Amino acid sequence: MQDLSHDEKIAPEALISKFEVGKLLRQDQTGRRIAMLGSIDGKQGILIAERAAFATESLEVLRAFRAAITRVNNLGDNDIYRWYLASSGVDERGEQSADLKLNLIWPCTEQHIKKYSDQVVRMVTETPQIYRDYIRPYMSAKREEGRLNWVFNILEGRTEQEDVILRDAGHGPEDGFLMLPDLNWDRKTMGSLHLLALVERRDIWSLRDLKKRHIPWLRYLRQRLLEGTVKMYPDLEQDQLKLYVHYQPTYYHFHIHIVNVMLEAGATQATGKAFGLENLISQLETIDGDDDASMADVSLTYFLGEANELWTNIYGPLKQGTKPALEK
């Protein structure tokens, strides 16, 4: 009978303490999982570590978690949005480390509650007629509620100016835009880089407002965003970046997301939510018509949660064969 190898004789629990770290192989974009190359008794091994999921089994547990949050450091705030780094405990040296990224929305609206709640998701197809008759009026109503104040605060120089990475006036009065870190990024992990570009013009609410005449502007936007990002973060190259826009977007002022292509694609980057900027430009180039031909002239398929007002007020009734009742 063949003898057991040396490492097979070691108790499994003892192997971890004997693991000598050599280098980091990979860190996932949420920062919750790392893979390390090292050795045990001179033989190479890989140790994969993953942070445990948050305990959520009761209100008492959630309250205890909130009570344990210390060393809160505000990274920025704008209107009702605030973001922080904080500590949820102590490290192996008995010191508190900034292991939490916190976002606070306060005071929040019913729409925020619906957005962040678990809900069944539906795929819908928005025809040009549905967009014209129902979605466009819905967008107009939401813009009039003042939900873009935080965007205008940035564009008009009242908040977050220290975070602006790039501000470009473009070639004309309507070409301007700026770029800054997305509030969900920790601002240091390149693998999860997430930036946001806000355009200064206010006549483009979503990708539906993009027309053939905007193609040169969109090309300019794309190139400047790529150049500005790699200049600010020289460890990255342009072909390591992905640019996309959301539809439906969270807010109706045209903006572009710039992320590391290695960023794990969650729901916000999934098909039916994220539309690649390059693909949008190509689609505009192939749409029939003159310079006024636009993305409002095509059907778009995307997903919605059942708690979303677009589902409850528009697509749900349409599915049931009834006419949506738009709020006055």
Task: Give pLDDT tens digits for 258-302.
Answer: 999 988 666 677 778 899 999 999 999 999 999 999 999 999 999
Structural domain includes residue 159: yes
Is 255 among the catalytic positions? yes
DSSP conformational letter for 209: G
Do 90 and 157 belong together in one domain? no
pLDDT at position 140:
94
The answer on pLDDT for 3 being more than 60 is: no
175/96 same-domain check: no
What is the mean pLDDT of the segment spanning 168-180?
86
Mean pLDDT, to the nearest integer, of 171-195? 86
User: Which of 54, 72, 102 finishes a domain?
Assistant: 102
CB 251 within 8 A of CB 148: yes
Helices 215-232, 277-286: inter-axial angle, 10-degree rounding: 160
Average pLDDT, the chain: 86
Percent over 90 (pLDDT), the chain: 47
Cβ count within 10 A of residue 132: 12
CATH code for position 43: 3.30.200.40
What gap in Å lies between CA 80 and CA 84, rounded to an integer?
Answer: 14
**Number of neighbours of residue 222 by Cβ within 10 angstroms:** 20
The residue range of the domain holding 282 is 119-320
In what helix (H) or strand (E) does residue 76 lie, and over which residues does it extend? strand 70-78
- The pLDDT of residue 94 is 55
143 and 227 in a single domain? The answer is yes
How high is the pLDDT of residue 93?
A: 58
- Residues 274, 141, 297: CA angle, nearest 5 degrees: 50
Task: Give pLDDT, residue 234.
Answer: 96
Structure confidence by residue, pLDDT tens digits, 51-106: 777 778 889 988 888 888 888 888 878 788 888 888 876 555 556 667 787 888 88
Catalytic hit among 194, 214, 246, 255:
255
The residue that leads in pLDDT, 51 or 6, is: 51
